[in-house]
Amino acid sequence: MNDGLATVFGGSGFIGRHIVRRLAGEGWRLRVAVRDPEAGNFLKTMGEPGQVAVVQANLRDDDSTAAALDQADLAINCVGLLYERGAQSFDAVHAEGAGRVAQAAATAGAKQFVQLSAIGAAANSPARYGRSKWAGEEAVRQAFPDAAIIRPSVVFGPDDEFFNRLALLASLSPALPLFGPSPFDAGNTLFQPVYVGDVAEAVVRIVTQGSGGIFELGGPEVLSYRQIMELVLAHTGRQALLVPLPFALARLKAFFLEFMPTPLLTRDQLRLLEVDNVVGEGIANLPELGITPTPIGTVLPDYLARFARGGLKPTAA
């Protein structure tokens, strides 16, 4: 057990809340830094009374960032965006924000730093998302050379954005798009879905072992986008026509979807689909941390069942 103080930025998010719960279970005192403390009050129930505190912090504000890190032994940055809005740009949050948190953590004397990045982070990524994640990693390493960089593939779990969104679309539309460079090469982008509980456990193992460097986290199965769509349809009992949609036409559609308050699809997300999202060869994954990856089929059916037509039990895939 550990009674140190950990500050988790973005701890109210999908992955962040699981990390907070696991660290609380290990005895850490938690200070969760979020933009809206009231919205994060549910996190207080993840530990013993007084173990989890929720504080206001903004990555663009040095004073609130420094205050959140005061006397922290461990700093974890889980803040991320799926799409840009105004001042909340990929560069401002993923790159500049990550660097600011790492520098503040180093100044505060934190012993460990964990940065949540993503597979696909690269200086030459076709997507602004991927390039900004890479810039954030570089900024973190400059301020905190021994930091641990965690890059998950697409993460699944009850509150995920990816599979729940696909299941919702399957419940609303008789046809679903398969993206690709041409109609004859659509839906072939590869993913290695990883369970959110395994990501949180990886953070605990990395912190406990005092490990640094890069970790790419993926599950036991590598699936194409087409296979993922078929899996969602099977587990929701839905039927839909999978229609090949070339990237060029999809980008035109995404241009208009970007005007929605919460876009269903953006042009930058389409650029991410141009590159496979799987663990790189020779890079530490879950087994190197002593974790057996959770198969997607043991978790996905339970939370996608609510999208089944008429409450039908989802079909095993």
pLDDT score of 119 more than 60? yes
Q: Are 191 and 231 in contact (CB under 8 A)?
A: no
Structural tokens at position 69: 């890190």
List Cβ neighbours of 229 (8 Å cut-off, separation of 6 or more): 166, 170, 176, 178, 187, 242
Residue 136 and residue 175 in one domain:
no
pLDDT score of 309 more than 80? no
To which residue do tokens 């740009």 refer?
A: 89
For residue range 66-101, what is the model confidence (pLDDT) as tens digits?
999 999 999 999 999 999 998 899 999 999 999 999
To which residue do tokens 């419940």 refer?
A: 171
Helix or strand run (H / E) with residue 118: none
Pairing type for strands 148-152 and 112-116 reads parallel
pTM of the entire predicted model: 0.94
Residue 142 and residue 10 in one domain:
yes
Residue 245 and residue 147 in one domain:
no
In this structure, what are the phi and psi dihedrals at residue 304, rounded to the nearest 5 degrees?
A: -90, -10
Residue 171 and residue 139 in one domain:
no
Residue 121 and residue 171 in one domain:
no
Whole-number average pLDDT of the chain: 94
Residue 60's pLDDT is 87
Structural tokens at position 255: 């241009």
For the chain, give the percent of residues with pLDDT over 70: 97
DSSP code for 119:
T
CA 243 – CA 186 distance, rounded (Å) = 9
User: Residue 166 is part of a domain; what is its CATH number?
Assistant: 3.90.25
Helices 98-108 + 128-143 axis angle, to 10: 10
Domain count, the chain: 2
- Reported confidence tier of residue 311, pLDDT bands at 50, 70, 90: low
Of 214, 238, 237, the C-alpha closest to 313 is 237
Residue 106 and residue 184 in one domain:
no
Residue 35 and residue 123 in one domain:
yes
Residue 129 and residue 170 in one domain:
no
Residue 97 and residue 11 in one domain:
yes
For residue range 175-202, what is the model confidence (pLDDT) as tens digits?
999 999 999 999 999 999 999 999 999 9
User: Residue 67 is part of a domain; what is its CATH number?
Assistant: 3.40.50.720
- Reported confidence tier of residue 317, pLDDT bands at 50, 70, 90: very low
pLDDT score of 313 more than 80? no
For residue range 247-261, what is the model confidence (pLDDT) as tens digits?
999 999 999 999 999
pLDDT score of 282 more than 90? yes
pLDDT score of 44 more than 60? yes
pLDDT score of 2 more than 80? no
Residue 20 and residue 95 in one domain:
yes
Amino acid at site 208: T
Burial category of 4 from C-beta neighbours within 10 Å (exposed 0-12, middle 13-18, buried 19 and up) = middle
Domain range for 235: 162-190+221-276+294-311
For range 22-47, the mean pLDDT: 96
Q: Are 151 and 117 in contact (CB under 8 A)?
A: yes
Helices 162-172 + 225-236 axis angle, to 10: 60
Domain annotation covers residue 146: yes
Alpha helices (runs of H) in 12-84, residue ranges in sequence order: 14-25, 62-68
Residue 96 and residue 186 in one domain:
no
Amino acid at site 270: L
Residue 198's pLDDT is 98
Distances (CA, A) of 13 to 8, 10, 19, 39, 71: 11, 6, 10, 10, 23
Radius of gyration of the chain (CA): 20
Residue 316's pLDDT is 44
